[in-house]
Amino acid sequence: MNLLIGSLSMGFLLSLLTLGVFITFRVMGRLDLTTDGSFGLGAAVAAALLASGVHPLLATVAAAAAGWLAGATTGLIYVVLGIDTLLAGILVTTGLYTIQLRTMGGGNRSLSATRTLPEVAEDAWRALRLPETVTLGETSVAASLFSALLVCVLFVLFSIWVLARFLRTDLGLAMRAAGGNPQAARALGLDTGVMTTLGLVLANGLVALAGALFAQYQGFADVSMGIGMIVTGLACLVLGEGLLGKGTLRRQIVGTLTGTIAFRLLVAAAVRAGLPADTLKLATALFVLAALGVPAVLTRMRGRMDRTPADLSRFRQRIDRIPADR
Amino acid sequence: MSEPALVLEDLHHTFFPGSPSEQRALEGVDLVMEERDFVMVVGSNGSGKSTLLNVIAGTLIPDHGRVRIGGRDVTRWPEWRRAGLVGRVFQNPVSGTIGRLTIAENLAVAAKRGIRHGVLRNALGRSRRRELADHVRELGLGLEDRLDTPVGALSVGQRQALTLLMATWVRPTLLLLDEHTSALDPGSTEQIIRLTDRIIRSQGLTTLMVTHSIQQAVALGDRVLIIHRGRVVESIGGARKRRLRVEELLDSFDRLRSADLVDQSAAEMVRRLYI
């Protein structure tokens, strides 16, 4: 049961990462490699601020703001210098490695001696005189585990609520339009460069928030913890889409949460089933490959494709077959 | 007298200058369109008519010359900024709308073209939705009952009708139509042309329409421009345009083509003699 609660907490907080990947990959139609850097950056900023005695809540928000800056940097490189976001993201992530080292004053930082957000939640739990253990079915769960889960749930539900509302405003809609069809968006008066940057800012804020919560949850920050996070985020995203489909915006947003939790539960189940720890990386990589590959194969078999380049070229061929009327 | 809606001054544009594939797309185009003018542009493939439209819309910045829309020099304005003055319908019906968004969402974006306010207002509040539905009803396509359908699920004809509505929702100073029926079947073409004519007349729009169809060039608009090798070689307006028949316009094309052949054979002769 403890493992389950742990997986749930991890699933909730990492769903912020998935939400970030959803914004860049699905809404803006771009693969943003800044994700790896801003996840680590969020963890590093939170760790450094916590160590200097800043309140955990403030440190967490500051970490998200650092993610906004990382996203804005990638966006500006793209808009001002005209370098594609893919390369811009790689450059920013590479640069951020040094910034993380400097921020933390080393390759990793333990948070065992500092007060973190889960501990704040635990104190609040005690202050409210809630029971020391929560009984779920036949097992009992320590209050600390449960309050940590609640913190993650609160952060995630709040972020999802804000994001879902934002995407329905005029500005949010403009951003989705710019990501969906840049040519049409420009013809409708939208500055697609600014909109892309906005998407990157929002996404990387969420990713850095995930990094900050992740570090506090596991009790340490490490400079390498962001490596491969874009792939994990993608896997959770695609898994969620496989489970819930991508019919509506609401479905997609709920899907990021569902997919991430399902992914974490799968990992936990694999570990429980006796998967040796040293094969976890390979297993994750294979799972990611399957998660990304299988739905694509399935949709192709179902022949129910969104507008892909292949679709468009078929469409053009159809146009060419229509005789000119002159 | 107000400023002309569109003034083009001595536009030049060359693709891949200095390379073997150098292509002079525009070689000095001048044009003045008064408000409410409806000008048809015809020309063979590669004549420069697409480049002309792209230069006006801001997709391309010309090597030389000026573009003035509604009295403002917009030559160096980026495309998105110019969109406040220009409404555009593309050849490909997929290009002008956002397939992933619903009909209502597409319209909500179009309703804000060139307007900046209320950025964090709910884009699809109840009153806005009612306004959108009323507007869409005018199309007579039954789309008002499908506001929450993704645009990607519509037929190309419906999509092009929607694009037309979106391009003219906020009254543009200039409407650009880029062979907007050439990807449609005859039935949809007929429907879109009728809708185009109705919208232009009812709103009194200034329109520049590029077309592949001689019939359309003859039947619509009050002036026809024939573009050839990056220049406006013929402008047929006024009473002559009203009397214009399809055969006459085709004859003009044939004359241009034979002139081309003479040019080419002359060049060939020079090459044989001197190189």
Does the predicted TM-score (pTM) go above 0.90?
A: no
Q: What is the mean pLDDT of residues A275-283?
A: 75
8 Å CB contact between A26 and A163: no
**pLDDT, tens digit, 9 for 90 and up, residues A101-113:** 999 988 888 888 8
Q: What integer best gives the mean pLDDT of chain A?
A: 86
Does the pLDDT at position A93 exceed 50?
A: yes
Q: Which residue of A has its CA nearest to B215?
A: A326
Q: Which pLDDT score, from 0 to 100, does residue A261 have?
A: 92
Q: Which pLDDT score, from 0 to 100, does residue A313 have?
A: 60
Choice between A315 and A55, residue whose per-residue pLDDT is larger: A55
Q: Which residue of A has its CA nearest to B115?
A: A189
ipTM score: 0.88
Closest partner residue to B83 (CB to CB) among A170, A173, A189 is A189
pLDDT band at A323 (very low <50, low <70, confident <90, very high): very low
**pLDDT, tens digit, 9 for 90 and up, residues A65-78:** 999 999 999 999 99
Residue B142 forms contact with A (CB below 8 Å): no
Q: Which pLDDT score, from 0 to 100, does residue A106 have?
A: 86
Q: Chain A interface, mutation test: which of B90, B92, B98, most A Cβ atoms within 10 Å? A: B98
Does the pLDDT at position A94 exceed 90?
A: yes
**pLDDT, tens digit, 9 for 90 and up, residues B51-91:** 999 999 999 999 999 999 999 999 999 999 999 999 999 99
Mind spelling out the 3-state secondary structure of chain A?
CHHHHHHHHHHHHHHHHHHHHHHHHHHCCCCCCHHHHHHHHHHHHHHHHHHCCCCHHHHHHHHHHHHHHHHHHHHHHHHHHCCCHHHHHHHHHHHHHHHHHHHHCCCEEECCCCCCHHHHHHHHHHHCCCCCEEEECCEEEEHHHHHHHHHHHHHHHHHHHHHHHHCCEHHHHHHHHHHHCHHHHHHCCCCHHHHHHHHHHHHHHHHHHHHHHHHHHHCEEECCCCCCHHHHHHHHHHHHHHHHCCCCHHHHHHHHHHHHHHHHHHHHHHHHCCCCHHHHHHHHHHHHHHHHHHHHHHHHHHCCCCCCHHHHHHHHHHHHHCCCCC
Q: Which residues of A touch B118 (CB under 8 A)?
A: 170
Structure-token match 């400023």, residue found: B3
Stretches where chain B sits below pLDDT 50 are none
Indicate yes or no: CB of B94 within 8 angstroms of CB of A172: no
pLDDT band at A228 (very low <50, low <70, confident <90, very high): confident
Q: Which residues of B touch A176 (CB under 8 A)?
A: 98, 100-101, 105
Does the pLDDT at position A325 exceed 50?
A: no
Tell me the residue length of chain A.
326
Choice between B90 and A272, residue whose per-residue pLDDT is larger: B90
Task: Collect all residues with Cβ–Cβ distance below 8 Å to B113 and sequence separation of at least 6.
Answer: A188, A189, B83, B84, B87, B166, B169, B170
Q: Which residues of B touch A174 (CB under 8 A)?
A: 109, 112
pLDDT band at A315 (very low <50, low <70, confident <90, very high): low
* CA nearest to A225, candidates A213, A236, A241: A213
